[in-house]
Amino acid sequence: MRKDITQIVKREFYDAKGRLEKVQTDRRLVNVKGPLWRADEIEMHDVQSNGRTILTLEKRALDAGLKDSLFTETELAREGS
């Protein structure tokens, strides 16, 4: 966790046997609004297979006007939405 901005930058995920499975590292943190910080780059490292996936965000929209009804359990469970 970064203490200067209270942002978690590393997360560890464990399998059912308690072994470290994946490590997520957030990089290129940007202040998006007030105390809200987000990573423009997220790396997921699969420790067990040594694979890596890197997600790079080029654009984001906050308060984009999405309707609350899009986030109901029914809507989120729909296929092809």
- Give percent above pLDDT 90 in the chain: 54
User: Which CA distances in Å does 79 have to 40, 43, 69, 73, 74?
Assistant: 28, 27, 16, 12, 10
**What is the mean pLDDT of the segment spanning 20-27?**
97
**Single pTM value for the model:** 0.72
pLDDT digit string, tens, across residues 43-79: 999 999 999 999 999 988 887 888 899 889 998 898 7
Residue-range domain boundaries for the chain: 10-77
**Closest alpha carbon to 47 in 73, 77, 10:** 10
The torsion of the CA quartet 13, 76, 81, 11, rounded to 10 degrees, works out to -20
